[in-house]
Structures are given as C-alpha cells and as structure tokens.
Structure 1
Amino acid sequence: MKFRKASAAAAAAAALALTVTACGGDGSTDDSAGDGSGTGKITVGIKFDQPGIGLKEPDGSFSGMDVEVAKYVAGELGYDEKSITFKETKSADRETALQNGDVDFIIASYSINDERKQKVDFAGPYFLAHQDLLVRADDTSISEATDLNTKNLCSVTGSTSAQNVKNDFAKDAGLVNRGGYSECLGALQNKVVDALTTDDSILAGYAAQDQYKGKFKLAGLNLSNENYGIGVKKGSDLTAKINEALEKMVSDGSWQKVMDETFGPAGYEFEPAPKIGELK
C-alpha cells in the first residue's frame, strides 16, 4: 500500500485532523496529527469473521480485501498503518456505530441501499459482489433459489440477504438468523440449515478455507447486485476525501493488486472496479 508522506503544510494537516475528529463524535480519533506521522489515530469498523473480506487472525493481525482497502484509504487521509485501530462492527451494528461516533468509517462488506442511505452516507462503491447460496458439497437438491421452499436458510442478523431470497424467490423458506457467518457455517455443516446466503465474495472466502475445502460449494447464482461502499457519519465531508482515495487506488493499480492477491487463491472471478458514484 502507498501512504502519503508528511509533507502537507501544518494548517492543512490540522484541518484534516479536525475533519476526522468531527466524524468520530466520541473522540475516537486523535486530532494531534493526521499527516502520516503515526501520532494521530483513526478507528475503522470491519468484520472480524469473514475470510477474504475482513478477518482477525489468531495472532491478532487482520487480513482481507476490506482491511487492505481501509489501509490504503487511511493512508490517503494521512494515517499510517500503526495509527489504525480496527474495531469489529457486525452487520446489525453498523449504522449505530457511525451515528454514535464509535468509528470514523466502516468498510465491512457494506452494501449500499436506499434504506441505509437514510441513516449514513457512503463513499464508493469500491467493489461489486452478487448474492449467492452456499450449500453442502454433496447436496444435489438445491440448484436454484426456488429450491429453498420448505428448506432452512441461514443468514446474519442485520443482513438483508435471507429476507431478499424469501421475498423474491422462496416465500416458504425457513429463515434462521445467527450473530455471525461462522455460526451460519457451523449450522450448515451440522445440517441444521440447508443453505447459507450472502454475497458470493464472502461465501468464496469461507469455502476456500483449509478446514472447509471440499465440504461446501457455491450454487453459482447471481441473485442481486451488491455494491460495497464505505460508510461514514451522515453529513461528513470524509465522503469526498474517501472517494478521491478510492479513485487513486484504482488508477495507480493498487486496487487490482489487492483483489488479485485476495481472491486469486480462491478462484473467485470478481467484477472489474466499479466507477465511483455509480451503482449497478
């Protein structure tokens, strides 16, 4: 990742730091810096349980697409990696975390939609995913979403994926909500549910993990377009700054490098970088 050097004038650095502090209403950022010197702090909401997207490793480090994009964006805002605090932000807690100032921005497989835009602002999109199903590798009974009628479908509390399937494809599906995708995966493995639904990028990351290889498969259905955005507190001018960082990430080749390194090993064929401000 490339990080901006501390060459901006002091006044500009102070203004930027004040801007970020305004986003973090509880003082989650330290406005003493923000110029890449490492003395300022910024708090970023991510997922901790999504392989390939946002994962807290056993050694306490973090990996995944959202983590790398967050590092790049923070760098363009004037923060080096040591200045970033990653905070777990579950699906059901994302809007509240921004509204309360618990985090400065959220990058957590956060699909942009009209309901969420009433509560928070979004930069991006920076990635286009599609909703799909993950089923057991030996299950031949599910090849279409309509096959979920009379079956049990798992998704995470706060996510809209399962309800979308029930509303649009399988009204008789039984919905099972869990607190995290790992819990849904355990329920699928133990045959408590018949399928797990969320974005194909997330499902591919789980299926590629060593302990799950050969046990699950993607149904290969594009049930929806999921435009991933970076959430910020409503009214914050961070939105424009983050959009500039994302545009630079694409133009300098960093976006492609991150996606290749993240999804290449899983064999997941991701979409080209979306254009900032345009939803598909």
Structure 2
Amino acid sequence: MLAACALAYALSVGSVVLGHPNGLTVSADPSAPTLPLWQVFLPPVVGVALTLLLPPRRTSQPAVVGEARALRHGTAFLVGLAVLTIGLGLSPLSDVDFVLSKALLFMVLPALALRFVWRGGVQVLRAGGAWRWWAPLAVVVVWAWLSQAAPWVPAADFSGHDLTFLLLGAAVTALTAGVGEELFYRRWLQTRLEVWLGPAAGIALTCVLFGLMHFGTHGSTDLARDAALIVAVQGTSGLFLGLLWWRYRNIAMNILAHLIMNGWAVAAYLLTR
C-alpha cells in the first residue's frame, strides 16, 4: 500500500511540475491567483520537516487495537464513506449539495457510528508533556507565515463577492472542512489505518483519499489531469496534516492549521477592505 501510494504521488507531482511550469491556481475560488510551484509546495514541505524535527527527542504515541470487531467494522465503514465522497465529487451535485453531503458523511454519520455502534475500536497511547502544544503550535505558525502571510503571497481579492455570501461560505467551510475533514480523515480514519497498515502506509493512504475528495471542489472535465493535480497539491497538504496528527496527537492543532488554510485569505480581506 505504501509503495502504491508513493508511486501515485510521485507520478502526480511529476506531471504537475512538467505540465504547469508557470504555476498553479490551488484554490477553488474564481478570484484566486496563480502561484509559482515553489510557493505551492514549499510551505507544506517545511511543515513536514519541522513536524519531524520538533521536539528533537524521539516521541512515540502509537495507535493500538482496542476492541477488534469495532476496529474492523469501523475502519471499513470510514473507508466506504471516503470512497463515497470521492464518487459524489465526480457526480453533478451542486456546491450546496456537496457541502451538505460532506457535513453528513464527515461529521454526523461517523460520530454516531463510532460513538454508539463501533465504539472503542482504537486507542491512542498519548505521551504527556507541554511539547504536545508548543511544538505543533510552532510548526503551524511557521507554516502559516510561509503559506499565507509572507511578503511574496498575493493578497486575495473578494471585491466581486457579496459580503453576506462570503461570510456564510467562510463559516460553512470552517465547519465542514476545518473541523469535519480533520476529525474524519485524521482523528478517525488515519488513526485506524495506522493500526491496520502501519503509520507510514496509513498516512499515505489517507493522503490519497483526502486528495481525491477534492474532485468535488477542484474538478473539471479532464479526470486524469484533475486527479494528478489534487493528489499532488491537496495530497501534499494532507501529508503535512497527517504527520502533524501522527506526531503530536493534538487534533486542536490540526483544526487550527486547516482553518488557517481555508480561511486566512477571507479574514485578511475582511480586516483590510
């Protein structure tokens, strides 16, 4: 599984680098600027490096089997939801319907199933210490500056959007993506896949599934091109977020990073307009 995911990722990044030498538009917003490739990939790569380096001492917080039957059925259920979401992204759903579907599939159904049907399938052996807060916070601050606030990052222009629509969209995205995707892909799915496949393969498969989920917001008419783009770009962001969860087991920091990823541009525009 690890080799297959690594190959898919390498081919996707290679096709993006060769096919888009002048840069990429990574946001689904129609007013989003085109960014040079180094600006697209540098922040998550730096985030990955810092996650692996901070703190410098070795720490281990493995995910282990709780109740075997609950783990088996809960994992299959979550993988099925992830695949279903990819399918919905390829279907002709409206943006509103897709967002509502994400809220149902990423938050409501998993929360109910893992709380009342397959409870206790996996446990995380968390380590103690203040490093679980200061280290991921330092990582997120550096990553956020590189990706959102550095001098070379162009300011977003939402002047053509209705203010009420912009605020509503930002709030819905914060809930379904910032909170929902982190709970679903990292806290619930990745943790269980780490038990089944090992940490490396579990993170890798989660990254691919997380990337392909973005067909619903970043897809066009060229399926192969879209798949390469979202696995390369959103998959790289997913790798950063997956390692952040694996290393620190602090879902609040994952949610913070995802909120910044999706909401910084809107917040900066509203504060400076």
**TM-score, normalised by the number of residues in structure 2:** 0.26
The structure where helix makes up a greater share of residues is 2
> Higher RCO, 1 or 2 (CA under 8 Å, sep at least 6)?
2
Higher strand share: 1
Structure number, greater radius of gyration: 1
TM-score by length of 1: 0.26
